[in-house]
Structure 1
Amino acid sequence: MTASTPAAAHDYPPVHPPLRATRVVRTMDDIRELEKTPLDQVMKAQSSYELLHNSRVAFGDKPALTFMLTGDPTGPSIVWTYADLFAKVTQYANVLHALGMSKDDVQAVLLPSCLEYQLGLWGASAAGIAQPLNPLLTEDKLVSLLNASGAKVLLTWGDAAEADYWNKAMRLREQAPSLQHVIRVAPYGEDPAARPALPAGVHHLDVLMAAQPDDRLVSGRRIQSGDIASYFHTGGTTGAPKLARHTHGGQVYTCWASVQVRNVLPEDVSINGSPQFHVAGTLAGGLPSFAVGVHSVVPTTQLFRNPEVIRNYWKIIEHFKVTNTGGVPTVLAAVTQVPIGDADISSLRYCGTGAAMLPPELAARWERLTGHKIHETLGMTETSGVSTTTPLGASGPAGSVGFRLPHMQMRIVRMDEHGQPTDEDVAPGEPGIVLYKAPNVFAGYLNPKDTEKAFTADGWLITGDMGFLDEQERLQLSGRSKDLIIRSGHNIDPKVLEDAVGAHPAVQFAAAVGAPDAYAGELPVVFVALRPGEQVTPEALMAFAAERVDEPPARPKRVYLIDAMPMTNVGKIYKPELRALAAQAVAEQIVAQVSEAQGVAEADRPQVRCTEAEGLLVHMPAQASAAYEEAVRAALAELPLKNQKIVRSRVAGVN
C-alpha cells in the first residue's frame, strides 16, 4: 500500500461518526421510537464509500477483515485493517477511473469470496457501478448479464481451480463485446515469477493498483445518495436473470436500519460465510459490519462449502472470539452435526439466518446446543438485502422473521384468483401477500418491462412472500406465493407440512410441493432428506405428519425419500426441481396403470422423464402399438402440466 495522507485532510468524503445502535430493540414500540427522528438526521452518509471512510477515521488500525487461507483457524490468514480497506478501495476506484470508467459505467465481478471482492464491490461503486456475478451460473447466462449491463471491466480470479474462473473469464471476454478490460486477481501464494503473460486489455491487479494514490478519488467525484451503486442479478436459477438497480442511499439505509434493529456493536466479531455475489453476504452481512467497525472473518474462498470450515466451525468461534454468526438453514443444519467438544463458544451472542424457511426442529437443536436462539431475517435483492429482522432483544417461533425496519411501510393484502395482490388488506392474523415501501426498495430492474411487474399500480413492491402479522406485529412467514399448493381451490401452506414432517427426529430437511393431479389440480407431497445414519419409512413419516396436520386435505399424499435436497448456489432448497420430480413420479404411476390395463410387459413400457426446463417427456419404445401410445397420451393429457411430449425411440428401451 502506498503512503497515505489521512483521508480527513481532504474535503471529500466529509467526516461523520460511524453508525452505532442507539437503543436495544425488543418490540414494535422501539421501532416507532426510532422513527421519531427523521432519517436525514441519523443517516449522514450519502454512499457506501462514505461509510467506509467514516470507519477508517474512527477505527484506523483495527482489523476490518481476516481472511482464513485454510479451514484451520490457527493456520495462516491475511488481515486488512480499516485503514487498509479504505485505502485499497480508493486505489481501486482510481484504477477504474484510469481505465476510462465513469459513474454510469459497469464493472463486473467474477471472483470467489476473497479480500479483493471488497474492491470489486465498494471500489467499483465509488468509480461507477458494481455488478457481482454468480460464478456457478451457466456461461450463457453470464454472457446475457454482461451484455445486458454493458459491463466495460471484468475483475476475475487468476486461476482455473474450482469454478474455472480464469478460463471462463477469457471465454466471456470473447462473447461480451462491451468488455474492454479484464483485471486479474493473483491467487494467494502465487509466485510472481511464475505469473502468466497477459494479452492486450488484460491486466494484473497489483500492477494497476501500484500506480494509483490511495488517499483521494482522482476523478473528484462526489457520490450522491440517488446514484446507482450496483446491479445485483436475481432470478438467475430459472428463466432470464434480471438486474436490480441499487442506489447508494438504499444501501446506506439497509446498513443503518440493520445496525439499529440488530444492535450491532463495534466490539463484535462476525463470521461472514455468505457468498459475496449475493445481497446476504454483501448488504445484510458485509457493509453493516464495516459501517460499525466490526471485525469480520471470511472462512476461505469456499466459505461454508469448505468441509474443513464446517469441521472446525466451533473452533473458529473460539479462536476469533466470534460474537455474531449465521448462515442459511442448510449451513446451520450441517454445523449442528459437529460436536462442540471442548471449544469455548462463550463469546457468541447472536446467530442469524435467512434466505430460506427455518425448520422448527433445527431452531430447537441450535438452542439446545448453544444456549442461543436463531434470529430470522427476511430479505430480498429488491430491498437491498433486508426487509424485516428479528432483533437481538426479541425472539419468536421458527418462521417469525421479526419486525419491519424503521421508516419502512408494510402491507399484507389478499391474493386474487391469479395469485396477484389485491388492494384489500387482510385482517390481523390472516395470511396474505407482503408489500413494501421503503428507502431501500430498489430503483427498478434494468429492463423497464420487468419493473412494471414488480410493483402495484400505486407503487408498492410485490414481494411474493406470504405471511401474517401476529399480536406483537412480527411478520410470520409462511412461504412464497408461487409455492402455495392449491388442491381443488383450497390453499395449502407448504410450511405446515414441512414443520410436521420435519419434527420427526430422523428428518434433516423436508420440502412440500404440489404434485399434479387430474381431479384436484395439485396434491401435497413431501420430499425428505434424512439425517446421517437415520432410517424411517415413507409410510411412517406420513402417519407422523397426519397426527400433526389438522386439515385432512393438507395431509401429504406421498412422502419421497431422497439422498439430498437440490439446492441453489446460496443454500436454498430448489423447489422447481422437486416439483418436476413429483410430476415425473405421478406420470410414471399413470403409465404403469395404463400399461397393466393394456397387458404391456414392463420391459416394453415407455420411459418417463420430467425436468424443469423440458417439462414431461415420454419415450415410447419403437415396437409400441399406436393404440397403446394413444392410451398413454390420453391418460397423461389429464394432468395439469403445460409441457408434454411423447417421442418414439428408434430401438426399444432407448432414450
Structure 2
Amino acid sequence: MSTNHPPIAAPFTASFPIRSEADIRRLEETPLAEALTVRSTYEIFRNSAAAFGDKTALTFLRTGNPDDAPIRWSYAQLMNGIHQTANLLHRLGVGPDDAVAILLPGCLEYHLALWGGAAAGIAQPLNPLLTDEKLVSLMKAGRAKVLIAYGNDVESGMWSKAMRLREQVPSLTTVLRVAPHDEAPGSPGALPAGVLDFVTERAKEPADHLASGRDIQSSDIAAYFHTGGTTGAPKLARHSHGAQVFTAWASIKLTGQSAKDTSINGYPLFHVAGVLPASLALLSAGVEMIIPTPSLLRNKEVVANYWRLVEKYRATSLSAVPTVLAALANVPLAGADISSIHYCRTGAAVLPPELAARFERLFGLHVHESLGMTEMAGISTITPPGVNGPAGCVGFRLPYAQMRIVALDSNGNASDRDLPPGEQGMVLFKSPNVFSGFVDPADTAKAFTADGWLATGDLGWLDDEGRLNLSGRSKDLIIRSGHNIDPKVIEDALGAHPAVQLCAAVGAPDAYAGELPVVFATLAPGASATEAELLAFTGERVDEAPAKPKSVIVIEHMPMTNVGKIYKPQLRAMAARKVAESIVDEACASLGLDEAARPRVETDGESALKVVVDAAAAGAQAAQLHAQLQQVLGRLPFKTQVVLQ
C-alpha cells in the first residue's frame, strides 16, 4: 500500500453566512474538486489535530449532575487514539473490505471505534436494542471480523449480547472489550479466548501514523449503517469516505459552526444523525462536543438538568429530535442562563407547529429544521442560523446537490412528472453524499428511480425561496376510499390543544373505505382532557371532511423508535386491534354471549392480528362465532387470523 498521504490541510470553515439559495449558488461558483480536496474521514481528523492540538474535542459527562467533573480528550488525544485503534485492527487482520462491528453506548471510545474502524476497514455501528437475530443478520451481511463491545450489561445488556453474538457470526475472529469509564482496574478478571481488552491492546500500537500505510480514497467504503430494523430485515447502507466528508463539509458551510462553539450531542451513535452532522461535521471544524453520559438523552437526570448543563458548558447549539424537544419543553429553566445558545436545530421527523411555538415562547429559541437520511450520509437539506422558517420548513439543498419534487403515481411511488413550487409531491435528490447503495443490490434498485434519482419517500414542496417544506412520508399517507390524507393536517390540529404533549395520526383498517383516520395522543404532565373533547377540538380545525379523525385515543406512552421518532407501525397495529375488538364485541352481542365467552384479540407482530375463539367458553355457538368473525374480519385490509381452540 502507498504511504503517500496528502499534506495537512486546513479544517473546514464557513465561507460566508448562508441566507438564501443565491448564497448556495455562490458557493457553487468554485468547482467542487477545488472547494473540497479532503478525501477521507481520516484526513479530517489529521487536519483537526494539526489545527487544534490541545483544544478539547470530546467532553464525556459521567453523570447528569452539572457539578460532576467530566472526562476530556483533546484533538491530539483523539487523533492518537484513532491511530492506535486503526493499528490494532490492522494487527487483528482487518483490511479495507472488512467490517468492524460496534456495540457501545455513549462513550469516548465510540469515536475511536468509528473513525479508527473506518481508517482500517469499514465501521459498522449496531443498534444494541435490536434482537440477537437481527444483529447476527447484520453482522453476517457485513462479514464483521471484529466486534468492539461494552464490557457490562448496565446499558442494554450489551456484554451478554456480545458474548452470544460471537458464537453465531462465523466471520468474527475477535471481540474487543471496552471497559466502562468507572470500572476498577482488573475487576473483570481473565477474559475468554478471542476476547481482548481494548485499552491494553491499543496501548501497544503507535499513535502517530497508520501502520498499514493505507492511502484512503474517497470512493472507499467508510461505514455500513443499517436502516429500519424495527420490523423486517434491516438493510445495510454503504457510505463512502467521500460521502461522509461531503456531509461534514456542507454542514459547516451552511451552519457556520467553528472552534468557538460547543455542542451537546445526545444522538445515539449507531444512527447517522449522531455520527455525521452531529459529530464528524463538528469535529471537522474544531467544535467541542459533549457526550451526556452513556445513556445520552435517555438519562432522566440529563434531561432534568439539561438547561443547567447548557449553562455550565456554555453550549452554543442545541440539537435534538422533536420528541426530545417536547420533553425539554417540560423542564423549567429555573434561572439557568442559556444565552450562549445561538442555533437550535432538529430533524428526523417533522416538527409540530405547536411545539415550535412553545419552544420559542418558553426559551426564546427558534427551532431550525433539517432533513437527513441514511441514504444521504445523514444530511439532505439544512436551515442555517439566521433563516427562520415556519414549522415543517427544512431549509436549502446542499451546494452541488440537485433536488426535485415529483408527482406520485397510482401506487404512491415517484413518477417522472415534476411539480412547480407550492405543489406537494415526493422529494428526489442527486448529491455528492448520496450513498454507495445497499449491500444487497436488490435493495439498491428500489432506492432509486429509473433515471438515477434517490427516491426519499418524503413528501414536500418548495416555497418561493427555494426551501424544502416537508409534510410527511408517502408510506404514512392515510388512504380513505382512494383519497390521500396527509396525517400532518390532523396532527397539527390536535397538537394545538394545550393538554396534548405528542400526537400521531394513522389509518385504521375499514372494510368499506380501506382506511379511516384515527389519532393517538399523550397528554402533557399534569394536564387532563377527555377523548371526546380532543376529538371535537380536532374536528373543528380539520377543514377537509374525509380527514376528520374518527377517534382520538389517549395513551400513556407514545411508541418510539430507538432514535426518538414516533413509531407509526405500532400505532397502526393498535388501531387495527381496536377495530377488531369492536367487531368482536358486536359479534358477541348479536349471539347473546357474555364477557366470559369473548374471544381474545392479540397483536401478532406489527402487521397482523390473531383472534382466538375459546370453544369451551363459547359453547354451542363457538363454531357460529368463529365463522362470523372470519367473514367480517376477513373484509378488513389488515392481516387477521381467527382461530378456534
Deviations 1:275-300 (A, max 9, x none): 01100100110000000000111110
Find the counterpart in structure 1 of residue 501 from structure 2.
508
The one-letter code sitting in structure 1 at the alignment partner of 2:569 is P
Whether contact under 8 Å (1:576, 1:612) holds in the other structure is no
Whether contact under 8 Å (1:580, 1:611) holds in the other structure is no
Find the counterpart in structure 2 of residue 204 from structure 1.
197
Distance across 2 between alignment mates of 1:181 and 1:585: 48
**Is 1:632 the counterpart of 2:629 in the alignment?**
yes
Cα distance, 1:13 vs. partner? Answer: 4.5
Match of 1:286 among 271, 275, 279: 279
Distance across 2 between alignment mates of 1:122 and 1:193: 27
Deviations 1:540-569 (A, max 9, x none): 111111221111111111110100100010
Find the counterpart in structure 2 of residue 348 from structure 1.
341
Distance across 2 between alignment mates of 1:304 and 1:237: 20
Cα distance, 1:213 vs. partner? Answer: 0.6
Find the counterpart in structure 1 of residue 520 from structure 2.
527
Cα distance, 1:193 vs. partner? Answer: 2.9
Distance across 1 between alignment mates of 2:268 and 2:607: 30
Cα distance, 1:614 vs. partner? Answer: 5.8
Match of 1:61 among 54, 67, 71: 54
TM-score (norm 2): 0.98
The one-letter code sitting in structure 1 at the alignment partner of 2:626 is E
Distance across 2 between alignment mates of 1:591 and 1:27: 57
Superposed counterparts of 1:428-443, under 5 Å: 428-443=421-436
Whether contact under 8 Å (1:91, 1:214) holds in the other structure is yes
Cα distance, 1:11 vs. partner? Answer: 5.7
Match of 2:228 among 220, 224, 235: 235
Distance across 1 between alignment mates of 2:548 and 2:188: 61
Distance across 1 between alignment mates of 2:458 and 2:437: 18
Distance across 2 between alignment mates of 1:602 and 1:193: 60
Distance across 1 between alignment mates of 2:513 and 2:161: 46
2:576 alignment partner, SS class: helix
Distance across 1 between alignment mates of 2:597 and 2:182: 59
Match of 1:609 among 587, 599, 602: 602
Match of 1:135 among 106, 110, 128: 128
Distance across 2 between alignment mates of 1:295 and 1:405: 24
Find the counterpart in structure 1 of residue 478 from structure 2.
485
Superposed counterparts of 1:116-515, under 5 Å: 116-515=109-508
Cα distance, 1:76 vs. partner? Answer: 2.3
Runs of 5+ consecutive residues of structure 1 not aligned to the other structure: 1-9, 650-655
1:378 alignment partner, SS class: coil
Find the counterpart in structure 2 of residue 648 from structure 1.
644
Superposed counterparts of 1:44-123, under 5 Å: 44-123=37-116
The one-letter code sitting in structure 2 at the alignment partner of 1:305 is R
Deviations 1:305-338 (A, max 9, x none): 1011011101110011100111111111111111
Distance across 1 between alignment mates of 2:114 and 2:245: 14
Distance across 1 between alignment mates of 2:574 and 2:56: 48
Distance across 2 between alignment mates of 1:514 and 1:167: 39
Find the counterpart in structure 2 of residue 653 from structure 1.
none
Deviations 1:386-442 (A, max 9, x none): 011111120111111111111111111111111111111123211111111101000
Whether contact under 8 Å (1:93, 1:127) holds in the other structure is yes
Whether contact under 8 Å (1:388, 1:403) holds in the other structure is yes
Distance across 2 between alignment mates of 1:591 and 1:341: 51
Distance across 2 between alignment mates of 1:611 and 1:489: 27
Find the counterpart in structure 1 of residue 33 from structure 2.
40
Whether contact under 8 Å (2:570, 2:606) holds in the other structure is no
Distance across 1 between alignment mates of 2:268 and 2:491: 26
2:138 alignment partner, SS class: helix
Distance across 2 between alignment mates of 1:193 and 1:487: 63
1:287 alignment partner, SS class: helix
Cα distance, 1:162 vs. partner? Answer: 2.6
Distance across 1 between alignment mates of 2:588 and 2:152: 53
The one-letter code sitting in structure 2 at the alignment partner of 1:629 is H
The one-letter code sitting in structure 1 at the alignment partner of 2:630 is R
Cα distance, 1:60 vs. partner? Answer: 0.5
2:176 alignment partner, SS class: strand
1:509 alignment partner, SS class: strand
Whether contact under 8 Å (1:268, 1:294) holds in the other structure is yes
Bigger mean CA offset, 96-105 vs 615-624 = 615-624
Distance across 2 between alignment mates of 1:184 and 1:639: 50
Cα distance, 1:647 vs. partner? Answer: 1.2
Bigger mean CA offset, 183-192 vs 566-575 = 183-192
Distance across 2 between alignment mates of 1:193 and 1:247: 39
The one-letter code sitting in structure 1 at the alignment partner of 2:61 is M
The one-letter code sitting in structure 1 at the alignment partner of 2:642 is I
**Is 1:543 the counterpart of 2:551 in the alignment?**
no
TM-score (norm 1): 0.96
Cα distance, 1:142 vs. partner? Answer: 0.3
Distance across 1 between alignment mates of 2:278 and 2:91: 31
Change beyond 3 A, Cα 1:215–1:13: farther
Bigger mean CA offset, 383-392 vs 419-428 = 419-428
Cα distance, 1:611 vs. partner? Answer: 4.2
Cα distance, 1:613 vs. partner? Answer: 4.0
Distance across 2 between alignment mates of 1:512 and 1:459: 33
Whether contact under 8 Å (2:356, 2:367) holds in the other structure is yes
2:167 alignment partner, SS class: helix
Bigger mean CA offset, 479-488 vs 71-80 = 71-80
Deviations 1:72-100 (A, max 9, x none): 12202110000001111011100001111
Cα distance, 1:537 vs. partner? Answer: 1.0
Whether contact under 8 Å (1:275, 1:281) holds in the other structure is yes
Find the counterpart in structure 2 of residue 28 from structure 1.
21
